[in-house]
Structure 1
Amino acid sequence: MTTATTTPEDTRSTDDLKMALVESLMAVIGAPDDEPSAEKAATIIHTLDARLTAEAVSD
C-alpha cells in the first residue's frame, strides 16, 4: 500500500531530472518487482512533469 507524502522540492536541474528518470526507469526494467525502484521512478516522473509544465506556462 502506497501513501501519498509531501516531498521537499527537487532542486536538480531539468536536464538532471531527465537523466535521473532514464536511470530510474532502467532500474525498473532491470528489477521489475523492486517496489522502491518503481516508487522512485514515479516520484521523478511526477517531479519532472510538474517542472516541464511550469516551464511551459512561463514561456
Structure 2
Amino acid sequence: MESYIKQRTEYLLKEIEKIRDENDLLQKTIMEMASRLLQIKEDKKIADLVHDLLKDWSRTNE
C-alpha cells in the first residue's frame, strides 16, 4: 500500500511539474502576443499619421 501511495505521489508531482511548465510557456506566449499587439497598434497610429500628412500635403499642392 505504501509503495502504491509513493508511486502515485511521484506520478502526481510529475504531472504538476508538466502543468507548471505548460503554464509558463502559455504565459510567455501571451506576453509575446500582447507585445506584438501593442506594436501593431503603434504601427497603425504611425500609418494613420502618415496618411493624414499625405492628404494635407496633396491638398496644399493642388
Give TM-score, length-normalised by structure 2: 0.42
Bigger Rg, structure 1 or 2: 2
Indicate the structure with greater helix content: 2
